[in-house]
């Protein structure tokens, strides 16, 4: 059974950097891309980017370019998403999602989400 376990909720100050994790089990980590998706309170879904754990190739949404880094640690089957220069608009639930062997295929396994609150 594919499982994604995300790190716990965080509170960050404006200007800080967040780094959240997503530990997977139930499949070979390098088989699937890992996506990250943002959902601000009461808002829709926003795709942030992905990593291919097999070769560390990343693709980032233009909106987050320069502030986001997605990595994958194949030794621990864990993906990370780092977002810098945090502002109040970054307050959101962040989901990791996987299950696609090609970028064109949408992910069908999702983590429960990590709530990050940015507040002074």
Partner 1 sequence: EIVLTQSPGTLSLSPGERATLSCKTSHSASASYNVNSSYLAWYQQKPGQAPRLLIYGASSRATGIPDRFSGSGSGTDFTLTITRLEPEDFAVYYCQQYSSSPRGLTFGPGTKVNIQ
At closest approach, how far in Å is the CB of 48 from partner 1?
A: 9
* 25 Ramachandran zone, left/alpha/beta (phi>0; psi -120 to 50): beta
Residues of this chain that interact with partner 1 (CB under 8 A) are 35, 37, 44-47, 49-50, 59-62, 95, 97, 99, 103-108, 110-113
- CB nearer partner 1, residue 18 or residue 35: 35
At closest approach, how far in Å is the CB of 24 from partner 1?
A: 14
Q: Of 1, 16, 10, whose CA–CA distance to 93 is shortest?
A: 10
Cβ-count burial 78-101 (b if 16+ within 10 Å, e if not): bbbbebeebeeebbbbbbbbbbbe
Stated as kind and residue range, the H or E segment containing 20 is strand 18-25
- CB nearer partner 1, residue 2 or residue 11: 2
At closest approach, how far in Å is the CB of 13 from partner 1?
A: 27
- CB nearer partner 1, residue 13 or residue 44: 44
């Amino acid at each position: 059974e594919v499982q994604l376990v995300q790190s716990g909720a965080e509170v960050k100050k404006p200007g800080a950097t967040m780094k959240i994790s997503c530990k997977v089990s139930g499949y070979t980590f390098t088989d699937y891309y890992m996506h990250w998706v943002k959902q601000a309170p009461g808002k829709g879904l926003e795709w942030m980017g992905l990593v291919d754990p097999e070769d560390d190739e990343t693709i980032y949404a233009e909106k987050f370019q320069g502030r986001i880094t997605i990595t994958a640690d194949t030794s621990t089957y864990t993906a990370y998403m780092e977002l810098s220069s945090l502002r109040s608009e970054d307050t959101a639930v962040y989901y990791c999602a996987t299950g696609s062997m090609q970028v064109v295929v949408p992910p069908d396994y999702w983590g429960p989400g990590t709530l990050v609150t940015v507040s002074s």
